[in-house]
C-alpha cells in the first residue's frame, strides 16, 4: 500500500476532495493522510468520511514546540512548514515505511505507482519545475517543486526530511518572497545518490511548463510530450465571480484548456455535487483576489505590487480574459 499525505484549509477543500477522487480512480490501494489546516475544514472532512483517508488536525503536527510559529509566520508559511511536519508525523506515528507529499491542487490521470517504481530503493524523490523558456523562476522558487516528494523511513530519508523542516523554520512573514523550504532542495541530488530526480514528462505538468509538454489524446489516455500524463498541478486556479474559473496567469493554449482544464472543472463540479448533498451550507472556496492599485500604493508592499502587475499584464495582453472558463 502506498502512503500519501496532503494538507489544505477550508478554501482548498474542493481541490483536496478532487485530488482524493483522482486517486480513487487511478489507485485502488492507498492511504491518504489529510492535515486539515483549520477547524471548519476538519469538521467537513470528518462528516464526509472519505475512504482510504486518515484525518489529522493541525495541532497534531503544529504542537506546543511549534506554536510560536503562528506569531512569526503568515498562514501560507505555516502551511509550507507543516508539509515536512506532516511527513514526519506520518513516519513517526502511523507505522508507514514511507510517505509521499502531494499538493492539494494536483490531479492524477494514472496510477502514481509508476513514479514510486522509478524511485525504487532510493530514499527521496524530487520533481523539477522544468520551466518553459521565458518563464524561469528558479532564482526565487528553486529547481524543484514541492508536489510529489517521497521520503523513505531510513537514515537518508530522515536526513533530507529534517533538512527540509529546518529550512522551513526560517520562514518569516516579513520576508514573503524568501522560499528556503523549496530552495534547499536544489542541492539535494549532489549530496546523495539516494535522491531520485523524476524526469518523467508526465509528472509535475503545470502552467509554467505546459507550453513545452504538448498534450495529446490517445486511445490509452492523455500524453504529455509523448509520455503518459501522470499528474497535473493546477497552480493558481481559482473561482472568479459566481460562474467562472480563472485558470492561470500563465498562457494556456486552447487545446490545453480543452483537454486538461475543462475536464478538471467538470471534476470540480462533481465535487460540488458531493458537497451539496453532504454539506449543503458549506460556503468556502478559493476565490481569485487581485489587489487594486490604490490598495497597493497605500500598502507599500512589494509582494502586492508584484501580484498586481502580474495580473495587470495578463489583462492588457488579453490572457486574463482568455483564461476564464465557465464553471
* Sheet strands (E) in 97-147: 98-102, 106-108, 124-128, 144-145
239 phi, psi to nearest 5 deg: -70, 145
Structural domain boundaries of the chain?
A: 2-326
User: Using an 8 Å Cβ cutoff, are 124 and 149 in contact?
Assistant: yes
Residues in the chain: 327
Mean pLDDT over 150-166 rounds to: 98
Residue 285 CA, chain-centre distance (Å), reads: 16
Q: For the chain, what is the radius of gyration of the CA atoms?
A: 19
Does position 308 have pLDDT exceeding 80, yes or no?
Answer: no
Check whether 314 has a pLDDT greater than 90: no
What is the structure's pLDDT at 68? 83
Mention every residue, 6+ apart, whose C-beta is less than 8 A from residue 200: 114, 115, 118, 227, 230
Segment 242-259, tens digit of pLDDT = 899 999 989 999 999 999
Query: 246: phi > 0 → left, psi -120 to 50 → alpha, else beta; which?
Result: beta
**Average pLDDT for 82-87:** 97
Fold of 2-326: Spore Coat Polysaccharide Biosynthesis Protein SpsA; Chain A (3.90.550)
- Condensed to tens digits (0 to 9), the pLDDT of residues 29-61 reads 999 999 999 999 999 999 999 999 999 999 999
- Residue 300: the pLDDT is 61
Instruction: Give the predicted TM-score (pTM) of the model.
Output: 0.95
Amino acid at each position: 500500500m502506498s502512503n500519501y499525505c496532503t494538507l489544505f484549509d477550508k478554501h482548498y477543500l474542493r481541490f483536496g476532495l478532487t485530488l482524493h477522487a483522482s486517486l480513487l480512480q487511478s489507485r485502488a490501494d492507498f492511504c491518504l493522510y489529510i492535515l486539515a489546516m483549520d477547524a471548519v475544514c476538519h469538521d467537513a472532512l470528518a462528516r464526509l468520511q472519505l475512504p482510504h483517508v486518515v484525518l489529522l488536525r493541525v495541532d497534531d503536527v503544529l504542537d506546543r514546540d511549534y506554536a510560536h510559529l503562528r506569531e512569526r509566520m503568515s498562514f501560507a508559511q505555516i502551511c509550507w512548514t507543516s508539509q515536512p511536519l506532516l511527513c514526519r508525523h506520518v513516519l513517526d506515528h502511523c507505522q508507514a515505511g514511507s510517505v509521499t507529499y502531494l499538493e492539494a491542487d494536483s490531479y492524477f490521470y494514472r496510477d502514481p505507482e509508476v513514479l514510486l517504481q522509478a524511485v525504487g530503493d532510493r530514499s527521496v524523490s524530487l520533481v523539477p519545475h522544468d520551466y518553459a523558456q521565458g518563464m524561469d523562476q528558479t532564482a526565487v522558487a528553486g529547481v524543484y517543486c514541492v508536489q510529489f516528494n517521497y521520503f523513505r523511513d531510513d537514515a537518508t530519508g530522515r536526513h533530507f526530511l529534517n533538512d527540509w523542516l529546518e529550512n522551513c523554520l526560517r520562514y518569516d512573514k516579513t520576508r514573503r518572497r524568501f522560499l528556503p523550504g523549496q530552495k534547499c532542495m536544489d542541492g539535494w541530488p549532489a549530496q546523495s545518490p539516494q535522491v531520485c530526480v523524476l524526469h518523467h514528462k508526465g509528472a509535475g505538468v503545470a502552467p509554467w511548463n505546459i507550453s513545452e509538454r504538448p498534450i495529446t489524446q490517445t486511445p490509452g489516455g492523455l500524453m504529455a510530450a509523448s509520455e503518459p500524463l501522470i499528474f497535473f498541478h493546477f497552480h493558481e486556479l481559482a473561482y472568479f465571480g459566481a460562474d467562472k474559473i480563472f485558470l492561470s496567469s500563465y498562457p494556456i493554449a486552447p487545446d490545453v484548456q480543452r483537454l486538461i482544464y475543462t475536464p478538471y472543472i467538470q471534476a470540480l463540479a462533481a465535487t460540488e455535487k458531493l458537497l451539496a448533498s453532504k454539506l449543503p451550507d458549506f460556503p468556502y472556496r478559493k476565490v481569485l483576489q487581485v489587489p487594486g492599485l490604490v490598495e497597493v500604493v497605500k500598502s507599500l508592499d512589494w509582494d502586492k505590487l508584484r501580484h498586481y502587475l502580474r495580473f495587470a499584464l495578463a489583462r492588457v495582453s488579453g490572457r486574463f480574459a482568455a483564461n476564464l472558463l465557465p464553471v
